[in-house]
Amino acid sequence: MTGDASVQKTTLTAAEINAQASDWLQRRDFWNWSEADRAALDAWLGESWANRVAFYRLEAAWRKTDRLAALRKPHPSDQARTRNEKIVVFLMRSAAACAVMALVGFGFLFKSAPQGKTYSTSLGGRETVVLADRSQIELNTDTTIRLVDDADKRQVWLEKGEAFFQITHNASHPFVVWAANRQVTDLGTKFDIRQDNLRLEVSVMEGKVSVGSTPSTPAQSLVLSNGDVLVATAESMSVIKKPEQKISKDLGWRHGTLVFDDVPLSQAIAELNRYSAHRLIAADDATGRIRVSATFPTTGVDDFLQLAKSVLKLRVQQRNGETLISQAKN
């Protein structure tokens, strides 16, 4: 569905988001953490890109502080700290980390927030957005973008999910996508961007794109061409080459299909779960490692379960609103 940015819920400030991230980390590390807590955290992380950036950066800062502390000789008073004292230290460190994040990462993030339109798809949905110059953006399942398309700029913020771009190149009016704290600039191309938390994948089907870093990440940039697939996280960035046919299969969602070519069952389950509220779960690692080669509709959970039972001879059980897949007992 589509809508104006003005109808979106009120955007929290950087300080408010950092405070929430700090609270989640405190609860995880010092409370009696449960599966319900984990589910609630996952839901909060899924609400926005800003939430995920805040949490993972604060977590990284916390781990770094712990590593530095481990290098010095422990003082007896350190060993005698109570749980409450440790929480106070955590909050002090969190506040310092949040201050740095607000000045660097989030200062850029919110300064760059677009004023255009927001487009979103539901779980399992797809939508095509056509720009004034006939460029097209195809949104995959559970995807949100914010678009500015006017005489001054053509820019997209991929807040979550996956989108395929077919762009009419204009050197004097460049098309830029911001995703996972990186900048992807069209150089005359068709390309796909997928963002899972802070993992970014850019696949080029035709033409070229330039991928660079924002001011809050290390200075890295490169040009991708046909068949290049970039995978970037907060810590690393790598590029591999894929045949055009393989990229086309990976983008089968554009035609309503998912193509699995000798992939682990766990990977197939993860993809199907992107399109359906009916959650599939592999019972154990051994089950998850079973290889699968098949093509299903993006809505083909029932077809997948039928294959699991009749071809792979696996056991399928309904449990608490989810489907557990396991190896049949002899």
Q: How far apart are alpha carbons 139 and 165 in whole angstroms? A: 9
Q: How far apart are alpha carbons 198 and 251 in whole angstroms? A: 20
Cα–Cα nearest to 137, from 280, 16, 249, 2 = 2
For residue 234, what pLDDT is reported?
74
Mean per-residue pLDDT for 212-222?
59
Tokens of 191: 């390309």
For residue 8, what pLDDT is reported?
38
Cα–Cα nearest to 29, from 63, 69, 1, 70 = 63
pLDDT tens digits, 266-314: 999 999 999 999 899 999 999 999 999 999 999 999 999 999 999 999 9
Residue 16 or 132, more confident: 132
Q: What backbone torsions phi and psi does residue 250 show, to the nearest 5 degrees?
A: -65, -25
For residue 330, what pLDDT is reported?
60
Q: Which residue has the tokens 């083909």?
A: 300
Q: How far apart are alpha carbons 222 and 251 in whole angstroms? A: 23
Strand partners, 294: 260
| Residue 106 binned pLDDT confidence (cut-offs 50, 70, 90) | very low
Q: How far apart are alpha carbons 277 and 223 in whole angstroms? A: 37
Please report the sign of the dihedral spanned by the C-alpha atoms of residue 290, residue 292, residue 298, residue 300.
negative
What one-character-per-residue DSSP string does 220-243 give?
-EEEEETTEEEEE-SS-EEEEE--
Residue 91 pLDDT > 50: no
Asked if residues 161 and 121 have their Cβ atoms less than 8 Å apart, the reply is yes
Tokens of 15: 């300080």
3-class DSSP state of 293:
strand
Q: Which helix (H) or strand (E) holds 150?
A: none
**% of the chain beyond a pLDDT of 70:** 73
| Residue 329 binned pLDDT confidence (cut-offs 50, 70, 90) | confident
The CA angle 201-202-203, to the nearest 5 degrees, is: 120
Q: How far apart are alpha carbons 313 and 330 in whole angstroms? A: 11
Residue 163 or 69, more confident: 163
Cα–Cα nearest to 4, from 160, 154, 176, 146 = 146
For residue 108, what pLDDT is reported?
45
Q: How far apart are alpha carbons 303 and 24 in whole angstroms? A: 38
For residue 301, what pLDDT is reported?
94
Residue 260 pLDDT > 90: yes
In terms of DSSP bridges, do strands 182-196 and 280-282 run parallel, antiparallel, or are they unpaired? unpaired
pTM beyond 0.75: no
